[in-house]
């Protein structure tokens, strides 16, 4: 293919899940070239057609892009918006303006994004355009989790953050109108309490978490009532890249050092836990990069004939996704997720396990439907976790959560249930966790008619758990290996499996760390609650 170009030195920065100008290696490399720089975001219809993507994610993305556009304009440029297939968009820009290089962060995501990147790579090779891809999230393409990656990751996190460029040479390439969710047939999203997007929101969350909110993080992250405050809530910002993992890690290390000086062991322990979870998060990205069988990349396995494959509209699936199963705590979790786009890690595990075990549904469609509810959806984390909860990738005894026990353990007073399942608010605490056991007089006093004002429980959870456990054990101990037992680590290496790499705590904070993230200077975390 031949191109007639009006320019030959345009450097494109293709933004994807890295929506910031700070600590952005591809942007810095493009600016360092001295050539005109085109900051580009492509709205791809094929991406938004994937079942894991939703209106709440789109709305969060647009807010992040608006923040990015403001930051670019302050530096003399602007974000160029295009809609279409990435390869076609880039080819059009090259034909009209001439592209010398495309700078991009590696995206570790769905099979769709991997195929898209392979297609763009083939096109750039044919067009003679340099495609300069840089890793993010501390992922090292030549390393595995078992062989040197933890030290590599720690070194990457300790490296100095990239300073945002002061000026960007504008490319003068026109932008198209910004699309809206309806352009991609995304249904109206009722996520009324969704977190707002944008760099300033992400940085402020990090500041407030390290200054006060995170003090009880270690002990409160599983509490459904307080986890939304005690947790960092950075996950959607890390997912869309308004804040880099390195920025979060370095800020947390600096805060930890300050609290250690003060002798605040409670806060230092919580920050240690937060640091470990940052590494745990990135470890999932590295595991996916370790894959050699791309047909398994972030996808649940095909039908195995063991669990029933539900279709959209299946009443069990719909009752589960909308919080109408008749199990108050489970329903409260799902309704909360529908309204906020977020759920703490333990509740995520319980909801997925219920669909896989109690409802005995093939995990693929429930996992995709659940993914669309998360504003912070990350394929590299979500799908391995969904597979684990469905007992697909582990030889250990399956974790089959008892929804009533979880309710008693994590919401003993029923406050979380009353908030999200108000039709049960009048039921006394001893009966709110299992209303089917409540005396008829108590149900009547509370104005509850099971099956009318609140659903009957969808299954007998104890009997369903016993049956699921028996089925899984029969599969694993049968004459042939269970078809669901697969690996998500490096394939076909011939190595003996070893224990998962430990999430080590660095021995001392690096010297160059700064708590400042380009907001007004704050030299030490506030001790205010």
274 is in an annotated binding site: yes
**Rounded to the nearest 5 degrees, what angle is found at the Cα of 315, between the Cα atoms of 309 and 316?**
60
- Both 284 and 368 in one domain: the answer is no
CATH of the domain at 23: 3.40.50.620
pLDDT tens by residue, the chain, 529 residues: 444 444 569 999 999 999 999 999 999 999 999 999 999 999 999 999 999 999 999 999 999 999 999 999 999 999 999 999 999 999 999 999 999 999 999 999 999 999 999 999 999 999 999 999 999 998 886 777 777 889 999 999 999 999 999 999 999 899 999 999 999 999 888 899 999 999 999 999 999 999 999 999 999 999 999 999 999 999 999 999 999 999 999 999 999 999 999 999 999 999 999 999 999 999 999 988 876 444 344 445 554 567 889 888 999 999 999 999 999 999 999 999 999 999 999 999 999 999 999 999 999 999 999 999 999 999 999 999 998 898 876 656 778 999 999 999 999 999 999 999 999 999 999 999 999 999 999 999 999 999 999 999 999 999 999 999 999 888 777 654 444 433 333 332 232 232 333 333 344 443 333 334 444 334 344 433 3
Task: Determine the distance from the C-alpha atom of residue 456 to the mean position of all C-alpha atoms in its chain, rounded to a whole number.
Answer: 33
Both tokens assigned to 466:
């016993």
For residue 402, CA distances in Å to 346, 357, 451, 467, 520 come to 13, 11, 22, 13, 47
- Both 249 and 347 in one domain: the answer is no
Within-domain flag for 529 = no
- Both 274 and 366 in one domain: the answer is no
Q: Using one digit for the tens of pLDDT, what is the confidence trace for 120-151?
A: 999 999 999 999 999 999 888 677 777 788 99
Give the pLDDT confidence score for residue 289 in this predicted structure. Answer: 83
Within-domain flag for 498 = no
d(CA 234, CA 242): 10
Within-domain flag for 502 = no
- Both 197 and 239 in one domain: the answer is yes
Q: Which of 439, 461, 476 is the last residue of a domain?
A: 476
Q: Which of 115, 134, 153 is the last residue of a domain?
A: 134
Within-domain flag for 176 = no
- Both 233 and 376 in one domain: the answer is no
Reduced to 3 states, what is the DSSP secondary structure of residue 196?
coil
Give the pLDDT confidence score for residue 190 in this predicted structure. Answer: 84
Q: Using one digit for the tens of pLDDT, what is the confidence trace for 206-224?
A: 999 999 999 999 999 999 9
Number of helices (H), then strands (E), in the chain: 22, 5
For residue 404, CA distances in Å to 350, 352, 412, 521 come to 11, 15, 10, 47
- Both 319 and 464 in one domain: the answer is yes
DSSP 8-state symbol, 75: T
Domain residue limits at 211: 193-291
d(CA 31, CA 25): 10
CA proximity to 143, closest of 133, 131, 155: 155
Within-domain flag for 183 = no
Q: Are strands 99-105 and 80-83 parallel, antiparallel or unpaired?
A: unpaired
Within-domain flag for 229 = yes
Within-domain flag for 145 = no
Split into its structural domains, the chain has a count of 3
Task: Determine the distance from the C-alpha atom of residue 90 to the mean position of all C-alpha atoms in its chain, rounded to a whole number.
Answer: 27
Within-domain flag for 520 = no
Contacts of 208 (CB under 8 A, 6+ apart): none
d(CA 403, CA 354): 8
Q: Which of 134, 154, 174 is the last residue of a domain?
A: 134
Alpha carbon dihedral 276, 279, 285, 291, in 10-degree steps, equals -90
- Both 468 and 370 in one domain: the answer is yes
- Both 42 and 101 in one domain: the answer is yes
114 is in an annotated binding site: no
CATH of the domain at 205: 1.25.40.80
Give the pLDDT confidence score for residue 474 in this predicted structure. Answer: 84
The pTM for the full model equals 0.89
Give the pLDDT confidence score for residue 478 in this predicted structure. Answer: 64
- Both 320 and 272 in one domain: the answer is no
CA proximity to 103, closest of 176, 172, 24: 24
- Both 426 and 359 in one domain: the answer is yes
- Both 336 and 465 in one domain: the answer is yes
b/e per residue 233-253 (b: at least 16 CB within 10 A): bbbbbbbbbbbbbbbbbbbbb
- Both 332 and 410 in one domain: the answer is yes
CATH of the domain at 401: 1.10.579.10
Q: Using one digit for the tens of pLDDT, what is the confidence trace for 406-458?
A: 999 999 999 999 999 999 999 999 999 999 999 999 999 999 999 999 999 99
Q: What DSSP string runs through 160-190?
A: PPPPPPS---B--PPPPPPP-GGGGTPPP--
């Amino acid at each position: 293919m031949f191109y007639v170009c009006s320019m030959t030195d345009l450097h494109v920065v293709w933004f994807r899940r890295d929506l910031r100008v700070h600590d952005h290696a591809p942007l810095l490399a493009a600016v360092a070239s001295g050539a005109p720089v085109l900051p580009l975001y492509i709205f791809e219809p094929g991406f938004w057609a994937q079942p894991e993507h939703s209106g709440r994610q789109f709305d969060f993305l647009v807010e992040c892009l608006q923040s990015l556009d403001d930051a670019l304009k302050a530096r003399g440029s602007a974000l160029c918006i295009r809609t279409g297939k990435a390869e076609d968009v880039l080819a059009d820009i090259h034909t009209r303006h001439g592209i010398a290089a495309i700078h991009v962060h590696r995206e570790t995501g769905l099979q769709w994004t991997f195929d898209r990147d392979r297609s763009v790579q083939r096109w750039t090779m044919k067009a003679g355009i340099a495609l300069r891809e840089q890793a993010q999230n501390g992922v090292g393409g030549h390393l595995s989790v078992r062989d040197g990656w933890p030290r590599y990751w720690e070194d990457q996190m300790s490296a100095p953050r990239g300073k945002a460029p002061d000026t960007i040479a504008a490319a003068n390439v026109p932008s198209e109108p910004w699309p809206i969710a309806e352009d991609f047939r995304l249904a109206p999203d009722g996520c009324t309490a969704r977190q707002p997007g944008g760099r300033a929101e992400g940085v402020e969350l990090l500041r407030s978490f390290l200054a006060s909110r995170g003090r009880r993080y270690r002990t409160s992250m599983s509490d459904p009532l307080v986890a939304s405050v005690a947790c960092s809530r950075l996950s959607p910002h890390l997912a869309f890249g308004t804040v880099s993992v390195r920025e979060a890690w370095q800020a947390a290390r600096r805060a930890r050092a300050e609290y250690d000086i003060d002798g605040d062991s409670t806060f230092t322990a919580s920050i240690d836990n937060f640091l470990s979870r940052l590494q745990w998060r990135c470890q999932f990205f590295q595991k996916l990069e370790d894959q050699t069988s791309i047909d398994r990349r972030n996808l649940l396995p095909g039908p195995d004939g063991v669990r029933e494959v539900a279709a959209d509209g299946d009443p069990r699936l719909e009752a589960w996704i909308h919080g109408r199963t008749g199990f108050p705590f489970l329903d409260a979790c799902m309704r909360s997720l529908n309204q906020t786009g977020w759920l703490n890690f333990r509740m995520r595990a319980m909801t997925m396990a219920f669909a896989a075990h109690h409802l005995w549904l093939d995990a693929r469609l429930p996992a995709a439907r659940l993914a669309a509810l998360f504003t912070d959806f990350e394929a590299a984390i979500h799908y391995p976790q969904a597979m684990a909860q469905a007992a697909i990738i582990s030889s250990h005894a399956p974790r089959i959560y008892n929804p009533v026990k979880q309710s008693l353990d994590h919401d003993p007073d029923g406050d979380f249930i009353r908030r999200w399942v108000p039709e049960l608010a009048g039921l006394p605490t001893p009966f709110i966790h299992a209303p089917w056991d409540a005396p008829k007089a108590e149900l009547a006093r509370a104005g509850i008619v099971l099956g009318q004002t609140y659903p009957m429980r969808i299954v007998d959870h104890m009997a369903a758990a016993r049956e699921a456990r028996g089925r899984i054990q029969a599969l694993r101990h049968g004459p042939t290996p269970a078809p669901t037992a697969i690996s998500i680590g490096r394939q076909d290496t011939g190595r003996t499996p070893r224990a998962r790499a430990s999430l080590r705590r660095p021995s001392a904070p690096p010297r160059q760390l700064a708590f400042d993230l380009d907001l007004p200077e704050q030299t030490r975390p506030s001790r205010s609650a």
